[in-house]
Amino acid sequence: MKQKIRIAGMIRKADHFLVLKKNKGRADISTVWELPVCKIRVGEQPEEAIARLVDEDLSLTVKKMKIRDVITFTEYEDASKIYSLYIIYDIDIEDNEANKIELSDKYSSYKFLGFNDDIFSNLSFEEASATVLGIELGKTGNRQNGEVTVGLRGAANGPIIYTDGASRGNPGPSGIGYVVYSEEGQELKRGGEFIGFATSRVAEYYALKEGCEQAIELGFKTVRFVSDNLMMVNQMNGIYQVKNNDILPIYNDINRLIQSFDTVAFTHVKRERNIIADSEANKAIDRHFGS
């Protein structure tokens, strides 16, 4: 499987962020916007790569930079499966430079969009940028048509289910939790269940299995599952094999369940972006013990 690592910048101006339009070298992307994204050159650190883009392509100076998120997902390109890892930085620029952007030949235009704007209504975005923005802003956008079994193409504009497992002792008393959102971002339901004595990784897989069952019950044909367990996300995306006997039966059950969907995706977020599902899992443990 091919692997793609990219560094993306959320370049901030007050409560807005920067998007760019590629130069008209390729007609198919001339009206498509994207986040500032770059590759890592040999010997570079991720923060050095994005700082280079800011300097060379925008003629700006970084005032402050901090890592915002690391997202993994699967893309499809000419029927080939590509494992993508995006490292995202929040970037503040010098106050007096916000209106002094000088674009390199690589880009033809730029604009600042509000974090609370309905950005997908009037603009088209490059596929990966749309995915990153959909996750980071908690919104979904119009994507290009394309039917795949596993991958973000098509699934990013569908319902989203966050899942999480909790284990007190690892192994110890364990619970699972989930929260379901419609494609418009409206919460549809949330819940949790005590699953007995288990490890945290078993709890994570049981939580994902419950998420699949909830999606089927709700009649979803397109769905994106979100978890803060990077190993599980990578295993569901086919990056790593499942070899542990304790989770292999659950993994196989999940793979049978996802055959009910036309399009499904698995994405990773940081723990602080999965607090509702985590709370539901812990509440389930507390309820079992009468807390």
Give the pLDDT of the chain (291 residues) as one tens digit per residue.
577 889 999 998 888 899 999 886 555 445 789 999 999 999 899 999 999 999 999 999 888 898 887 777 766 666 677 778 888 899 988 767 656 899 999 999 999 998 878 787 778 888 788 878 877 776 433 333 333 334 454 455 689 999 999 999 989 999 999 999 998 889 999 999 999 999 999 999 999 999 999 999 999 988 989 999 989 988 887 777 898 999 999 999 999 999 898 878 888 888 999 999 999 999 999 999 987
For residues 259, 264, 268, 273, the Cα torsion angle rounded to the nearest 10 degrees is -110
Q: What are phi and psi of 46, to 5 degrees?
A: -55, -45
Q: CB neighbours (10 Å) of residue 42?
A: 4
C-alpha distances (whole Å) from 208 to each of 160, 213, 246, 281 are 12, 9, 15, 12
CB 54 within 8 A of CB 91: yes
Domains in the chain, please, with CATH?
Answer: 2-142 (3.90.79.10), 156-288 (3.30.420.10)
Beta strand 172-181 pairing with 160-167: antiparallel
Beta strand 160-167 pairing with 222-227: parallel
Give residue 79's identity as a one-letter amino acid code.
A
* pLDDT at residue 99, as a whole number: 63
Give the integer Cα–Cα distance in Å for 39 and 32.
19
Q: How far apart are the first and last CA of the chain?
A: 47
* pLDDT at residue 25, as a whole number: 59
